[in-house]
Structure 1
Amino acid sequence: MSKLDYCFSNDYMVLRPDRAGAYELLHLLFSPKVGRNKAVDCFTSTELHSFRRRLSIFLNLLLQLFLLSLVGPLVAVLGGALEFALNLASNVLHGRMEYPDRKSASYRSITGLIDPRVDLERSITPADSRYHAALCVMASKVAYENEAFIRDVVTHRWQMEFVQFFNCWNEFENAYTAQAFVFCDKATDAELVVVAFRGTPALDVARWCADVDPSWYKIPRLGRAHAAYTHALGAQRNIGWPKWVEHVKGKPQRVHAYYAIRDAVKRLLEANGRARVLVAGHGSGGALAVLFATVLAYHKEKAALDRLAGVYTFGQPRVGDAMLAMFAERNLDRPRKRHFRITYGDDPLPRLPHESSAAHFLHFGIRLHFDSLYNLKVVKELPGDGSSSSSAAEFATSRINAAWELARSAYLGYWRSAYCREGWLLMAARAAAVALPGLPFHRVQDYVNAVTLAGSNIPKDM
């Protein structure tokens, strides 16, 4: 990438771990002239006199280098082998004496193996106040699977209409970094159109780096937006967010997430006059979901926004600054609240990017927080009321909470609901979370449990 790729922005700061050597890292510690540092793409005249902010960038680059160079290859090999072995064992246990095919409807990701549930709890019907949230969290969970698996679940288990799976191109990384699928509740005269974005796959270290990366662009009329999620959603080199993307003759046509999904949703709304739209995602998928709705507003897609029933995100990280937060709230939460940001316990992802980053990323929307007993607290947060950073005390507390969750899970299925009964693999993952910091807490099954056990407390709108 060159700095010309960012010319659509009137201000930006993009970290480049691929160009971070010893000199660049030391330069960050001792010189405020970050605009001259190869590891940071920004205007040449940019200076950061705050040592704390430069130290934050330094540590973030070190973390990304560590993940990409050491952890990434190890996770790819060992994690891939574990996923394959577990699928082989599952085939044998279910009487399917066949070699696991990663593209088949029976192949599951690590997420799907840990928690095999794909159906909603029986008591949750379309008339239930939990229905939108429950459908969205399950769709967000199923989004981690391959296209054949998703199609089979939507068509045969949910008895709904599968529309399309999207594997979307990232212009800045030259890779497919965003996946989503769209389905309707009925084949004809649909009442719901659901868009579910995939979150960060458990074995994709490059996407872990995207989650911790505090890089940003300042987009006119919109504010500062998280760079990695902006890239994944389909921003274009040099021009950013044009309303339409033209196919360039002689170049392979790529599917860009925002544009392809927006057009699919608009076609479905035209064909189904009563349909309303739900947009959902877990983790980074939640970030893409709320940015998708925000860019719809940025492009003044009033017809689609008027029929937006809700944006439900689960463990969503921060996606922008105060200006973007106010823009999103003005367009998504008026005249009624439609963005529901659901968080659970000590999930670390909603605390990212770290608050000491230069962009001062903030949360927005209605926060529905569940504690480790799945008790719900509704918090009407305003821009600026985000979570504070972690500390040594919070780290110790999170380990204690992990041990408590392990003990709780042993009897949860007998105490609260058989639907929440956990298998040996999930219990093993919870045991690992007692020792491992951070990401083991970011598990979608806790959000499925939380929504299921919330009773009538989850609002459809406010």
Structure 2
Amino acid sequence: MLRERGLPTNQSHPPLADGILGSYNFWNDYQRKATTQAFMLRDRDTIVVAFRGTEPFDTYAWCLDLDLSWYELPGVGKIHRGYMKALGLRKNFSWPKELAPRLKTPVPSAYYAIKEKLRSLAVHGETWLMERLEGVYTFGQPRVGDDKFGEFMERAFKDHRIDYFRSVIGDDIVPRLPYDDSASMFKHFGRCCYFNSKYQGKIVREEPNKNYFSLLRAIPMMMDTWYKLIRSFVIAREKGPSYREGWLMRIFRAIGLLIPGVPAHFPQDYVNSARLGASQLFPHQQ
């Protein structure tokens, strides 16, 4: 699935072992505490960096998803304020210093929700890492910038030959925030890997019902929510015991009858889509 870009034949450091390399807590200068978690793992010549996204009961993080404020960077575009904070922006508008490069292994990146964009390191010139970044995979990410920012990111990915995959499940509300309308400048960029409630995927430019609130979609969304609730009781028999959903997930499925689109943002559906739908969507990468 990931192309090998040539490992160095003469390393001054001992090779890293396969498996989990470490887990980390990253400081948020605005909240005065560590709010971003990540872990790194290695599988042969591949290093994966995965960031945890919005916690279900983190009201501050959900408010950031709904926040419409932004910063503007010359030559880059207008960028969501929450993204800039997650990336490491300090209160004095400076950036933390980065470690010097030493690894030459390709690095794919996975992130979830607003912290997903942390690997878009072209924003502050991490050229050495961009050259080793193999792919960026996001799951339920909100909109993060304007058209100009989208063009900047697409150009950076193309220049460094980085694959970018933005996954969206059904009526997940988070990828449809902040709104994309005449009063808002937020836009998605790149292609979207859209999966329906049966985990059947297709490549589209924009997910259906891009702004979530639609009278035409109200009844289909409710029917889809009922289907997912019923499926949670039978999916283990249909797909195997590893797909079993617990009572907590079923409770959230039921809550979806009141607020459709919220349960779809939970990791359960995104993990299932990767296991059941990705092989059909990307057969050449299996």
2:274 is matched with which residue? 451
The 3 A distance-change label for structure 1 pair 209 and 460 is farther
2:10 is matched with which residue? none
Higher-strand-fraction structure? 2
2:106 alignment partner AA = R
- Please report how far the alpha carbon of residue 439 of structure 1 lies from its aligned counterpart in structure 2 after TM superposition: 2.3
1:343 alignment partner AA = V
1:397 is matched with which residue? 220
Residue 434 of structure 1 aligns to a residue whose secondary structure is coil
Post-superposition CA distance 1:405-433 (Å, at most 9, x none): 11223222323444323233322332232
Determine if contact 2:180/2:186 at 8 Å carries over to the other structure. yes
Which of the residues 71, 93, 113 maps onto 1:283? Answer: 113
1:378 and 2:232 equivalent?
no
Determine if contact 1:214/1:357 at 8 Å carries over to the other structure. no
The 3 A distance-change label for structure 1 pair 460 and 282 is farther
Determine if contact 1:198/1:284 at 8 Å carries over to the other structure. no
Determine if contact 1:178/1:233 at 8 Å carries over to the other structure. no
Distance in 2 between residues matched to 1:344 and 1:351, nearest whole Å = 11
1:166 is matched with which residue? 24
The 3 A distance-change label for structure 1 pair 359 and 432 is closer
Residue 254 of structure 2 aligns to a residue whose secondary structure is helix
- Please report how far the alpha carbon of residue 440 of structure 1 lies from its aligned counterpart in structure 2 after TM superposition: 2.6
Residue 188 of structure 2 aligns to a residue whose secondary structure is coil
Distance in 2 between residues matched to 1:375 and 1:438, nearest whole Å = 17
The residue correspondences of 1:103-142 to structure 2 (distance < 5 A) are 129=1
1:309 and 2:134 equivalent?
yes
Higher-helix-fraction structure? 1
Which of the residues 64, 71, 77 maps onto 1:223? Answer: 77
1:183 is matched with which residue? 41
The 3 A distance-change label for structure 1 pair 352 and 459 is farther
2:35 alignment partner AA = T
The 3 A distance-change label for structure 1 pair 226 and 402 is same
Post-superposition CA distance 1:228-275 (Å, at most 9, x none): 12112201334444xx63xxxxxxxxxxxxx4xxx38x34x1xxx4x2
Could you say which structure has the larger radius of gyration? 1
Distance in 2 between residues matched to 1:336 and 1:379, nearest whole Å = 20
Structure 1, gaps ≥5 residues long: 1-128, 133-158, 246-258
Distance in 2 between residues matched to 1:194 and 1:357, nearest whole Å = 38
How many percent identity over aligned positions?
38
Which of the residues 321, 337, 349 maps onto 2:146? Answer: 321
Residue 333 of structure 1 aligns to a residue whose secondary structure is helix
Determine if contact 2:136/2:162 at 8 Å carries over to the other structure. no
Distance in 1 between residues matched to 2:209 and 2:73, nearest whole Å = 22
Distance in 2 between residues matched to 1:205 and 1:460, nearest whole Å = 41
Determine if contact 1:400/1:434 at 8 Å carries over to the other structure. no
The 3 A distance-change label for structure 1 pair 173 and 357 is farther
2:199 alignment partner AA = Y
1:197 and 2:51 equivalent?
yes
1:434 alignment partner AA = L
Q: Would you say how many aligned residue pairs link Structure 1 and Structure 2?
A: 270
The residue correspondences of 1:264-275 to structure 2 (distance < 5 A) are 266-267=101-102, 269=103, 273=104, 275=105
Post-superposition CA distance 1:372-412 (Å, at most 9, x none): 0110101246xxx9924522443443222111111223222
